[in-house]
Structure 1
Amino acid sequence: MTTTIPESAAPLLLGRYRPHTLIGRGGMASIFRAHDETLDRDVALKLFRAGGAADMDQHHTELSALARLSHHGIVSLIDAGIDYSTPDDPRPFLVMELVRGTDLQATIDQRALTTEEIAEIAFDLAEALEYVHARGVIHHDLKPSNVMLVEYGTSTFRARARLADFGIALNASEDTADHGQETTGTAAYLSPEQAARLPVTTASDVYSLGLVLLQCFTRTIAFPGGQVESAMARLSADPAIPADLPGQWTPLLTAMTARDPDARPTMAALALAFRDEIFAATS
């Protein structure tokens, strides 16, 4: 459900961005459709909730991750700042490209995807994540609701999958071996090492992408349940991957969801494999 903010109550951020419609809400931030009054265009504005030093550190982590990424498969960062409209409650915000489309979770809920569509989505995401990983960033929270399927209004181009929300992205060079710290990510899509609070690498994104693509085929979550139940289930069991998936999908998803991170393929290898699956699905 969207909520419209009266213009008289909406602050003008950085002298140009005025939020007017609440379009999403998460644990750490709210997403608004806002208007850039300088360039006369709509943008997405992610306004973080007020918090302490740890929350500000998380904001800077996301900003750092997004600022150095520029790829057609990633929602672009436009601007950033802090909202001082309530002086005793300053709130950081990000201004991002407003992507018009449907998220993958909503699409899965509405209808079955064809094998060709799944292969195209897989290729788009693997290509974007190969780029992300090459620049030392781990997304850390891959899930269907963080994937936008964007239509460009032409009859000759298919919908493109674009990766959104780097809210808990990590630098791959950072020390992620702080055992016992809070597990971050969405429980249903955590890798085993995330669930066990072990060091996280780019292979964690591979595992999570495997679960997302498996859900595209089955339309069910591989590890349902509550936060703890879902996160811990994958430490003792592999996801149930149908043996009769078309093409090479069964071995591909099996390799992606191996419990040993070193046994999983790289995003570069997967991009090539997914491209082959597009050709196989259309031949």
Structure 2
Amino acid sequence: MKFPTNPEDEARVAPQVEGTEPACDSADRIDNGDPTLPQIDAPRAVDAAQSPLSATPDKTEAISDAKAREASRRSRGAPRIPHYEIVRFLGSGTFGEVWLGRDRRTGIQVAIKFFVHGSGGQWGLLQAEVQQLAELHADPGIVQLIDVEPDAVPPYYVMAFVQNGSLAQRLERGPLPVREALEIFRQIAEALAYVHAKGIRHCDLKPSNILLDIRGRAKIADFGQAHLSSDASPALGTFFYMAPEQADLNEQIADTRWDVYALGAILFAMLTGHPPREAPTLRAEIRGTADLSHRLRHYRDSVQQAPLPREHRRVKAIDRLLVAIIDRCLETDPARRLRDAGAVLEALERRRRTLQQRAMLGFGLIAPVVLMLTMAAFTLIGADRAILASQNEMVEQLGRSDSVSARLAALIVEEEIVNRLDVLKARAADPRLAEVVKGGDQEAMRTLMADFGKDAEVEEFKIKRWTITNQVGTTQANFPWEPSVCNKNWSWRDWFNGQGDHLDGKDQRYLPIDRPHISQPFVSKDKDHTKGVVLSTPVFDPSSSTSQPTILGVLALTIELERVENWLKSVRLNDGFTVLFDNRYHCLLHNRQDRVTARPNQNPPIWPCPIYRNVIENEESGHTLSYRDPVDHKVYLAGYASLPRIGWGVVVQHDRERVLDQIAAVTHRLMRISRVAFLAAGVLISALWGWQFWTLRHVQRMADA
């Protein structure tokens, strides 16, 4: 549910994708006639050649569409759904209608959105927004999803009803005072920090997507454009709230700094009444350009070339620290922008501390001598304690950051491995595979392996090799074709028997696995000495008993560890590194890969340690400030997380000694500078007070004379 603002200020942009409907143009918003009620975006179907950013559409056509929808609604009457009483109609759009409802069980008012216009296809398009809201249900700063019923006719979902309108409606009455604007800004940043921690980027923050509850607290709404941190599809926002680098139809990973730009633009708008870098001529030029890509490029170039906004500097009661935060958020160069909502909150906290320190300096002017002596004593006595406290604080913050990074890395790797396991199991269940393995037709198996490999490439699963064996472990076929390994027995390999590589019993025969399995790491004997793991699963005879199925062979696929390492590069570690290990304590990835890689004709080494055991056996996640790595025996700050669906674990590590040395060096340098400055200030203030005291005594003596 969204609340509109001035159409000229909220020209929503969205990628034009064949087979979908674009986000609505501002002229297509439906006015329900009551300014206290929510207004609903009404997307309008357009031709494939027409861009949603084209010139202002015919308002007569929009009004006609609205009247047609209103007539259709009246003919149907109020909808009925279990457990909810429909109170009144709130608004409608191309995708459906929004009604105010009351839960009969609790009496709580809710907003219910029904997808009544082409519900089947449109529900599929908008289901992502419901999923994002479900991910963020725990934060009070997000408009909460209460219920969803995709199988109803029509489908609908239920959300919390926010009674006090949107921030855009509040801005229609004019700019906000600095104190009120700053409080709303902080609330948005806190909620957005939770969104970013979940690996989600909103990508369309603006005043109309910020709702205010009855207490005036801000809540973020409309996750229709939200992207995961790994999603590279276009994510366009709203002109003058959208970061310039975001205005691009090419594939690019959604960045938290896009939301930071929008966050700064919202604060700027709250203080000045309009978004930054907005100019009537630029808006007219954008509306006058028909092609979407040209409009985006024109917007991007104009914003990047525009000077840094200065209107907020003239706002009454604003301070330079808050101006600096706004300027950092609105940097056109993303490298100079604050990195995410958490960094914005840290900047606000630094500003708060700085303002408090200024008050202390004022007190110092009242009693300089006493204060200087007291501070000098504390400086000399407590220097080491201050250094230790600052070290502990920084170390704790980095440990928490490593824990978040470890959970994100675990999520990425686990998702990729599970997806490939699902593909493997689906291929193993293919009746064609069981038939050719049972018949022993190697040529047919080679053809089928080639089909599996090509299908996986189409699905963008980069797999090193597909292999099929018979029930005794003899390779029948593989893809890409490698004749040197075919017609050889590999039952001694872990991926076939699930019991580890039997290097001393290669001539013996071992039973095949009876369930999906992930092998121990290995090093291939090819010229590149590829390091990898094998995912394998049994192929059952479909004609055998379901209670005791007959195993015809084993289907396996090989994944290079280099590819797994590439998956982890999306996680920013800031001079740290990631350790990945399996449920048998083999290190798959490590900064010292030379120590963990298997030697020829040897099983890979194992590295049991308390952290590995807790992650694997108890599926624990967290961080530790002093962790001795079993591989290189160094002490690290570490965050760790489990991958419960595949039994692996991940640790994100930073060299503790290096971190402490850096903190100590900076702290000692600052302490030396502060001591010199402190002494100089003390001498100067003492001299001034001495001169003032002598002057007063001299004036008094002259008066007495």
TM-score between the two structures when normalised by the length of structure 1: 0.80
Whether the 8 Å contact between 2:146 and 2:160 is mirrored in structure 1 is yes
The equivalent residue for 2:515 is: none
**Corresponding position of 1:150:** 213
Work out which of the residue numbers 230, 238, 256 in structure 2 matches 1:173: 230
Q: Does 1:241 align with 2:310?
A: yes
Tell me which residue corresponds to 1:43.
110
SS at match of 1:102: coil
2:208 counterpart SS class: helix
8 Å CA contact 1:123–1:275 kept in 2: the answer is no
Aligned counterparts of 2:77 and 2:264: Cα–Cα separation in 1? 44
CA contact (8 A) 1:30 1:48 kept: yes
| 1:268 is the counterpart of 2:342 | yes
Out of 112, 132, 147, the residue aligned to residue 65 of structure 1 is 132
Contact 1:62 1:167 in 2 (8 A): yes
Extract unaligned runs of 5+ from structure 2.
1-32, 38-69, 288-294, 360-705
TM superposition shift of 1:209: 1.1
Paired residues for 1:1-283 under 5 Å: 1-2=33-34, 9-13=77-81, 15-25=82-92, 28=95, 30-48=97-115, 50-51=117-118, 55-69=122-136, 70-82=138-150, 84-85=152-153, 90=154, 92-152=155-215, 159-174=216-231, 176=232, 178=233, 184-198=236-250, 199=252, 200-222=254-276, 223=278, 225=283, 226=286, 228=295, 231-232=299-300, 233-237=302-306, 240-242=309-311, 243-245=313-315, 246-247=318-319, 248-265=321-338, 266-275=340-349
C-alpha separation between the residues in 2 aligned to 1:37 and 1:8?
22
1:99 touches 1:150 (CA, 8 Å); kept in 2?
yes
Alpha-carbon distance between aligned partners in 1 of 2:306 and 2:95, rounded to the nearest angstrom = 31
Q: Give % identity.
A: 29
Give the letter aligned to residue 78 of structure 1: I
Aligned residue for 2:275, secondary structure, equals: coil
- After superposition, the C-alpha distances for 1:129-176 in whole angstroms (9 at most, x for unaligned) are 000000011111111011122233xxxxxx3111112122111222x2
1:212, distance to aligned residue in structure 2 (A): 1.0
CA distance in 1, matches of 2:141, 2:178: 20
Tell me the CA shift for residue 33 of structure 1: 1.4
Shift of 1:255: 1.1
Change (3 A) 1:58 1:255: farther
Q: Go from structure 1 to structure 2 and tell me whether the alpha carbon gap of 1:8 and 1:25 turns closer, same or farther (over 3 Å shift).
A: closer
Compared with structure 1, are the counterparts of its residues 116 and 28 closer, same or farther at alpha carbon in structure 2 (3 Å cutoff)? Answer: farther
Report the AA paired with residue 112 of structure 2: L
* TM-aligned CA deviation for residue 48 of structure 1: 3.8
Q: Deviations over 1:46-74 (max 9, x none)?
A: 33463588744432211111112111111
Q: CA RMSD, aligned part only? A: 3.2
Structure 1: which 5+ residue stretches go unaligned? Answer: 153-158
Query: How far, CA to CA, are the matches of 2:100 and 2:133 in structure 1?
Result: 19
SS at match of 1:11: coil
Q: Matched residues in 2 for 1:268 and 1:99: separation?
A: 26
The range that moved more, 138-147 or 33-42, is 33-42
CA contact (8 A) 1:19 1:32 kept: yes
**Amino acid aligned to 2:90:** I
Judged with a 3 Å threshold, the aligned counterparts in structure 2 of structure 1 residues 270 and 38 are, in CA distance, closer, same or farther, namely: same
Deviation by residue 1:83-128 (Cα, 9 ceiling, x = unmatched)? 754xxxx4x4321011121311111111331111111011101110
Measured after TM superposition, the shift of residue 254 of structure 1 is 1.5
Question: What's the offset of the Cα at 1:219?
Answer: 0.4
Residue-pair matches, total: 265
Structure 1 or 2: larger helix share? 2
CA–CA separation in structure 2 for the residues paired with 1:37 and 1:238: 55
Residues 199 and 229 of structure 2 are in contact (CA less than 8 Å); yes or no, is this contact kept in structure 1? Answer: yes
Structure 2 CA distance for aligned equivalents of residues 196 and 219 of structure 1: 27
| Aligned-partner Cα distance in 1 for 2:121–2:304 | 29
CA distance in 1, matches of 2:244, 2:89: 34
CA contact (8 A) 1:138 1:202 kept: yes
2:15 aligns to what? none
The residue that corresponds to 1:156 in the other structure is none
What secondary structure is seen at the aligned counterpart in 2 of 1:188? coil
Residue 256 (structure 1) shift: 0.7
| Stretch deviating more after TM superposition (21-30 or 218-227) | 21-30
In 1, are the aligned partners of 2:95 and 2:119 still within 8 Å (CA)? no
CA distance in 1, matches of 2:88, 2:263: 31
Task: Give the Cα–Cα distance (whole angstroms) in 2 for the partners of residues 235 and 36 of structure 1.
Answer: 49
The whole-number CA distance in structure 1 between the counterparts of 2:192 and 2:222 is 13
Q: Which has the higher contact order (CA 8 A, sep 6+)?
A: 1
1:30/1:47 contact within 8 Å kept: yes
- The residue identity in structure 2 corresponding to 1:260 is D
* TM-score, normalised with respect to structure 2: 0.34
Residue type of the alignment partner of 2:226: A
Contact 2:189 2:341 (C-alpha < 8 Å) held by counterparts: yes
Amino acid at match of 2:181: I
Residue identity matched to 1:201: D
Q: Distance in 2 between matches of 1:239 and 1:48?
A: 43
Instruction: State the 1:188 CA deviation.
Output: 3.2
198-207 or 22-31, which moves further after superposition? 22-31
Paired residue for 1:155?
A: none
3-state secondary structure, aligned to 2:172:
helix
What secondary structure is seen at the aligned counterpart in 1 of 2:191? Answer: helix
Contact 2:96 2:116 in 1 (8 A): yes
Aligned AA (1:58):
L
1:44: Cα distance to partner?
Answer: 0.9
Measured in 1, the distance between the counterparts of 2:349 and 2:122 equals 39
For 2:119 and 2:100, how far apart are their aligned partners in 1?
Answer: 26
SS of the equivalent of 1:45 reads strand
Supply the distance in 1 between the matched residues of 2:156 and 2:331 (Cα, whole angstroms): 37
1:29 CA drift (Å): 5.2
Contact 2:123/2:150 (<8 A) preserved: no
